[in-house]
Amino acid sequence: MNKKVDFMKDWTYLWYTINRKVESNMKKMVIMDIIVSLCIGILNFFPQKIMDLQTRKNKELVEQQMDQMSLEEKIAQMFLISYRSDEMDSNLQRQLQYKPGGFILFQENFTSYSKTIQFIEEIEKTAEIPMWIAIDQEGGRVQRIKALEDVHATEIPPMMDLGKTNQSELAYEVGKVLAKELQVFGIHMNFAPVLDVVENEQNKVIGNRSFGADVKLVSKMGIAVARGLEENGVIPVYKHFPGHGSTITDSHSDLPVLTKSKEELLASDWIPFQNAIENNAEVIMVGHLAIPSITGDATPATLSKAIVTDLLKQEMGFQGLVVSDALNMGALVNHYSEKEIYCLAIQAGVDLLLMPNDLERAIFYVKEGIQEGRVSLEQINTSVRKILMLKNKKINKKRQPKEILGSIAHRQIIQKIYP
C-alpha cells in the first residue's frame, strides 16, 4: 500500500514538474512573441513617423520659399531652359538671371570633362533655389554624354535591344549604369525611359527607342530601368504620354494624330503609364499629339486639360509632376503662338514647361495671361509647390568619380544584352 502511495506521489510530482516547465516555456514563448511583435511594430512605426516628420518639415520649408518668391520667380520655376553651347556667355547669363527652374543639357554642352563640369557648376551657382540639371540619356541614338571629347562614357544600346532580353534584372542594372554616369556631372533628372509601345513599323521618331511592341514587356522593362535610375539618385521621367508608338508623324516637325478610341488606348498605350503610376512615378512627360476621341478636336495633349488634368491626374491618379515635351517643336509652333503655348499648357495642368524660346519673354507672356484671366494664379502656385517639394526631397550634391565613366564593370553589364 505504501509503495502504491509513494508511486502516486512520485507520478503526481513528475506531472506537476512537467506542467510547470511546459507552462514556463509557453509563457516564455508568449513573451517572446509579444517582444517580437512589439519590435516589428516599432520598426514599422518609427520610419513612418520619420517620413511624416520629413514631409511636414519639407512642407514648412516650401511655404517659406513661396512667401519669399515674386510672381516672376514662381513662373520661372516652371521652366527648364536649354542653351546649345559650352560657354557661359552674356545671352545665357541674361536668361539665368530670371532664375529658371532647371536646365536641360544637350550634346553641345559636352566638350572636355573638365570644361563640362565647370559649365554645369557655373549654371548652378546662379540659382538661389537649386535647379534641375536634366538630360535625355535614353541609350541608342539618344545619348548626350557621348559627345565628351576626352572621356568615353559607356555606350548604352537601344532600349529595343534591351527589351529583347526580357530580363527586368538586367534592365535595372542598365538603369543603375545610367544613373551612376549621370551623377558624375551632378545630373538629377533623366528624360527616360520611353514607355511608348511601338505598333507601327513606319514610326521612325520612336522606333528602337521603345522596348518593343508588347505592352507587358514595355511596362516591365521600363519600370525596371526607372527603378535603377531612381534608387541610384536620378529621377526618371516616363515618356511620352499618352503614347507616341502608333503614330507616323514626327512631333518635331508637325502634330501627330492618334486615331484610337479611349477603349483601345486603355487596353494598350496607357497600360505602361498606369503601371508606372502604381509604382510611384514622380514625373511623367506629356507628348505633343492629338487624340480626337478624347478631346473632340486636334488639340495637342500638352495643351489639353481633358488629357493632362482630367485623364492623367484625375482618372489615372497621377499625383507627381507633369512635364511637357520641348515647347519649340513643330507640333506646337506650327499651330499656336508662343503666348498660347505657355498659357494653354499651364491651364491644362502642365507643371514643368520644357525649353521656351526665351525665358524672359515666356515669363512676360504668362504674366499677361494671368492679367487677362487666361492663366490661373492658383494653378501656378499648385505647380510651384509640387516642384519645390520634389526639389527639396530629391536634389543632392552627390557626385560619382570621373573613373566610373565607361568603367569595365559598366561595360560588362552592357555586354549581357548581347550574349
Active site residues: 252, 325
Residue 352 to residues 134, 147, 301: CA-CA distances in angstroms? 12, 26, 14
Cα dihedral sign, 179-181-184-185? negative
Q: Please give the Cα distance from 352 to 345 (Å, whole number).
A: 9
DSSP track, 127-139: -SSPPEEEE-EEE
| Region of residue 222 (left: phi > 0; alpha: psi -120 to 50; beta: else) | alpha
The values of phi and psi at residue 381, to 5°, are: -60, -40
* CA-closest candidate to residue 151, choices 401, 416, 414, 409: 401
What percent helix, strand, coil does the chain show, rounded to 5? 55, 10, 35
Question: What's the angle, vertex CA 74, arms to CA 362 and CA 307, rounded to 5?
Answer: 70
CA pair distance 317, 314, nearest whole angstrom:
5
Lookup: cell for 185: 556631372
> Which residues neighbour 371 within 8 Å (Cβ) at sequence distance 6 or greater?
none
The answer to whether 282 and 322 have CB atoms below 8 angstroms apart is no
- Residue 401 corresponds to which amino acid? P
Dig out the grid coordinates for 296 from the structure: 473632340
Closest CA to 154 of 135, 136, 139: 139
338-348 vs 359-371: helix crossing angle, rounded to 10: 60
